[in-house]
Chains A and B, each alone.
Chain A
């Protein structure tokens, strides 16, 4: 398409979007259902003091289950697109003493922070995703410093990636074995089960994000993992 025409079309579409969104936002009708109130009322029953974690892992845990599946799909595709004969890692980076030293001090700090964030998720802001992201950040930094982590795609790596999902699904299904609905937590166990799930999820999410980074095709993959089982 002609460039000016393209800009004209895009501009029209964008302006239309802007106008429509602003109209929709400024003339929004009065809300009828008060969902925050319902959350507050049921918070105690959910076994989690922090409302957002309660929504994520109890009220709307189904969304979260599928969301973990999305992460898994992304990483599975990432693994599928690894290059077998990728170039070896740029070794200069690994020899950089500054980076190495920095990494050694930074890594424990990041990991401890992530544990704290995970822990605080049950009563204050924080939770598995943020903690997992920190774990991933730690992993990425370690990777940049030349540590060889998660570069092998053997069954252990896949297990690690899927562990959080497996646990989540198992807990969800076991509810059905006890005659309760799918994704229901047994009475009184909700808090601890959710914490357990979150802890494992943190690990899996961290590993997933690291893998997506490490196995991305390009110069950063040290060597393609073998596909042997």
Chain B
């Protein structure tokens, strides 16, 4: 199972780098959720099923949704700013 652990660890690192290197925020957030799911698996490898559950539900799930939702707001605000060139009063 050592090989699996090495792969998982590298996967975590890769996912994290992906989050940082990606130029698209949306892709970053998706990779962040992937990272969270990988981390959930990692916690089971560390015999911490509670953490696996929490990571899946909170870390990846809820945080991911919050990020995605915010992304929508940001995009709309950007569009709005572009459509109305003049500054808001």
Which residues on A are within 8 Å of B, measured CB to CB? 52, 117, 125-127, 129-130, 133-134, 136-137, 140, 209, 212-213, 216-220
Contact = CB atoms under 8 A, between A and B. Distances in A.
Interface of B: 49-50, 52-54, 57-58, 61-62, 65-66, 69-70, 72-73, 76-77
A218 B79 CA distance: 13
**Chain A contact surface mostly:** helix
B50 A133 contact: no
A217 B70 CA distance: 9
B70 A218 contact: yes
Nearest to B53: A130
Contact of B49 (A125, A218, A220): A125
Contacts of B73: 216-220
Contacts of A133: 54, 57-58, 61-62
A60 B74 CA distance: 40
A173 to B, nearest CB: 28
Contacts of B49: 125
A52 B53 CA distance: 13
B54 A140 contact: no
Contacts of B58: 129-130, 133
Nearest to B59: A133
Contacts of B72: 218-220
A228 to B, nearest CB: 27
A63 B17 CA distance: 32
A218 B70 CA distance: 8
A113 to B, nearest CB: 10
Contacts of B61: 133, 137
A134 B57 contact: yes
A143 to B, nearest CB: 10
B69 A216 contact: yes
A48 to B, nearest CB: 13
A136 B58 CA distance: 9
A223 B70 CA distance: 17
A18 to B, nearest CB: 11
A130 B57 contact: yes
Nearest to A140: B65
Given A117-B53, A129-B54, A130-B53, A140 B70 contact: no
